[in-house]
Structure formats: C-alpha cells, structure tokens
Chains A and B, each alone.
Chain A
Amino acid sequence: MITLRIDDIPVQAEPDQTILDAAKAAGIRIPTLCHLPGLSPVGACRLCLVEIRNWNGKLVPACATPVQEGLDVVANSDRLRELRRTILELLFAERNHICAFCVANGHCELQDLAAELGMDHVRFPYRFPPLPLDASHPKFGIDHNRCILCGRCVRACSEVEGAMTWGFAGRGIFTLIEADLGDPWGDAKTCTGCGKCVQACPTGALFEKGRATGEQEKRPAIVAALTERRPRAQG
C-alpha cells in the first residue's frame, strides 16, 4: 500500500494505480476527457492535470501518473481551474462545435465539462476550419468538425476490438482521425462494423446514422464492461 495526500486528504492506493484511480476511490473529482476506463491511458487532453506540491508545483496528468509514496497532490485549485478552462477553450476554438444542432447535444462529455468548469465563453479566436464529414460507412459517420483528437476511438478499435482501423494522420492542427490508410470509412477493409469507437467517442464526432440533433447517446462504459470480461485485452 502507498500513502499519498490529495487535496490535503490522506489517501491509500495500490502501487499499480494512478493518481486518478486514487482520487476516485477517495471521492475527489478530477475532470477527464481522453481517459476511458478499460483503455490504456495516454495523457492526450491534459484536462486531468494536477499539481504536485513536493515536486515544486509540477503539473502532471492524473490519468497517466502512477501513485508514489508521500506525493502531495493538489487536484482542485484556482490555478488548475484556469488551466482546465483554457484547455477546453482551445478545444472549442480549434474546430466547429455548434452544439445547437449536434447529434450529441445534451449527451456530450465536452459540452458537460464546459458547463462544469464554468466556460461561459471562449476567449480565443475561433479557427472555423473547413473540415469534412465522412458518411460512407453503412451504419456510422464521422464528423471531423466535432473531433477533439482524444484517440478514444483509436484505442477502443485497436485494444478492444483488435481491428486497428483508426489512426491519426497529419500533424498539429492538421491532424485527422483516419480509417485504414486514408480510405473512406465505408471502404476500410479492417473495420468490422462493431461500433465500439462510436460508443467510446466522448463527442458528436462519431455517430450512428439516423440520429437527429441531440439523439446520439453514447455508452462508453461498454469498453470497461468488455475488458473486464476479457482481462487479456488489458495486457
């Protein structure tokens, strides 16, 4: 057992747990976005940043940092609130999030977090990039306008389904999620059509066809439910 402090509360954790696991067990809320139980942590979105007091206030992602004996973690502070809000604002400014007519309106983790973290407006200039929507798959679609590049689809597809259809293409703000080697999703030979990526996606980027505004509810918990039944997948 390892003992650490989170927001001045003494917490015990197993050596293979992360700061996020320990906080959850202690009932301390840390916002997350790219993290999904059942998938490997990647620390992509940085929303779960926490401050380590005895590391000179260094910021680390709670989802991808293992617990250590004696850590003094700050999970909630004005500095962290401002950082997390800024990260959210950058995500909103980067692509075209028009919640009012999004399939995920009312069921979106990004939208939920904006409300939770008090983001009443975006202080950065919006980029309004022209981005495509791929509706070539018979059952699903991907709208790059709503994608935050969290990679939950990529990991669900490779780690749980084992199909490895999805990947990242391009760099920086030009990065796009891509099926096979840039084929339209409907032509991707590796896609089994299982829909795990759609359920894992926190936003309206991946959706089931036939859903109108606000109709796309997701079941991200399906990923952990499957991996718990198949412990090998976590190997």
Chain B
Amino acid sequence: MPKVRVATAWFSGCSGCHMSFLDLDERLLEFAGKAELVYSPIVDIKEFPDDVDVTLIEGAVGTSEHLHLLAEIRRKSRLLVAFGDCAVTGNVPSLRNPIPREEVLHAVYGDGSVPGLEGGEVPKLLPQALPLHAVVRVDHFLPGCPPPPDRIWKFLRQLLAGKEPELAREDLRFG
C-alpha cells in the first residue's frame, strides 16, 4: 500500500500542537510506517508539494502570508484538518481581535514605522486572527489546546486506515 502523504503547517500558534504531535513517542514509528511527511516545520522542505492526502494546520490565520499559504494548501490537499484550538476557534491569537490592528502593533513596536502594518517585506498582520474555516473549507476539526497526544493518535489512526475520523465527547473538549 502506498504511504499516505501527510503535511503539517504552523500559522498563528505557539507550536504546542506540533509538540503534542511529537509526544506521540513510539507511535511515531507506526506513523512513519504508514505515512510520509512531505511538508512540515519539522522537515526541511521549502515549497508546499502537490498531491498531498492530508494537511494538518496548527494556528489561526493571522497574516497575509497565512492567507496565501492556506489557499495553496487547500488547493493541493485532499483533506484539510484544523489542528488544535487556534485553528478551530481562533483561540489565544484571537485575543487581539477586539482591538484595532494598528493599536496592537504600536503597543508592541512603539510609535515609529511598524513592520507588518503596511508596505515592506514582512507579511502584513490581518485585522483579526481567524479560524481556518472562516477562510477555506475545512474537512475535519481536532480541538484542544493542545490536543493531547492520545486524541491526535485516535484521530490519525482512523485517518491512516482510510476511515472517516470520528471524535466524540471528551475528545472534542476545547481548552
């Protein structure tokens, strides 16, 4: 059986969801036997590849670069998974949402010219940090801050076995 082509990406999040993924520990060996990690912050590949079976995205959509990459990922992935609370709800990065973007940036960078506000090379901060499904179609939601490794594994095992992943009750708890 050909390996499932899996990608992961990291938007406005703290990397905690990826850390929780690495906490699969010895289950990572089983994962490696069934899946190939074709793009991820933990592998050194620059371009998002074609024909990805499943992409897990951690983090909210917070910058113009996330918007750009999200559109590309959606186009090139068969299944898209909102991985963790920031991707599912906006969560911690959405704390800035009630405050105007300019105010947030000036509070952090002072009064001078601010990177990410207008022109320049730095991706622009969006007015609000949004959950993935506010921007593109999302196929599955894997909540938790971060989702505990057992929950991630329950989800991935069903997916790798070609089943429709189903989570219920405690495995859907936010926070």
Contact = CB atoms under 8 A, between A and B. Distances in A.
Contact of A121 (B82, B95, B168): B82
B133 A121 contact: yes
A106 B144 CA distance: 11
Given A102-B175, A111-B174, A129 B98 contact: yes
A99 B175 contact: yes
A100 B98 contact: no
Contacts, number: 74
A120 B168 CA distance: 9
The residue among B82, B167, B175 with the most chain A CB atoms within 10 A of its own CB is: B175
A96 B94 contact: yes
B173 A115 contact: yes
A118 B92 contact: no
B145 interface: yes
Interface string B87-99: 0111110110111
Given A121-B82, A128-B97, A115 B88 contact: no
Interface in B74-124: 82, 85, 88-92, 94-95, 97-99
Contacts of B10: none
A120 B89 CA distance: 10
Interface residues of B, number: 28
Nearest to A130: B98
A209 to B, nearest CB: 21
A118 B168 contact: yes
Nearest to B98: A130
B28 interface: no
B131 interface: yes
B12 interface: no
Given A121-B82, A130-B98, A100 B172 contact: no
Interface string A109-123: 001001110111111
A100 B175 contact: yes
B128 interface: yes
B170 interface: yes
A212 interface: no
Contacts of B21: none
A99 B146 CA distance: 11
Interface in A120-135: 120-123, 125-126, 128-131
B97 A98 contact: no
A101 interface: yes
A125 B135 CA distance: 11
A123 B91 CA distance: 15
B62 interface: no
B169 interface: yes
B99 A130 contact: yes
A115 B99 CA distance: 29
A99 B92 contact: no
Given A100-B175, A106-B175, A111-B175, A121 B141 contact: yes
Contacts of B22: none
Contacts of A121: 82, 88-89, 131, 133, 138, 141, 143
A231 B86 CA distance: 47
Nearest to A129: B98
Contacts of A214: 175
A216 interface: no
A214 B175 CA distance: 9
B172 A98 contact: no
In the A-B complex, the 3 residue pairs with the closest CB atoms: A99-B175, A100-B145, A130-B98
Interface of A: 92, 96-102, 105-106, 111, 114-116, 118-123, 125-126, 128-131, 214
Given A96-B97, A126-B134, 12 more contacts: A97-B174, A98-B94, A106-B175, A115-B169, A120-B167, A121-B89, A121-B133, A121-B141, A125-B134, A128-B94, A128-B98, A130-B98
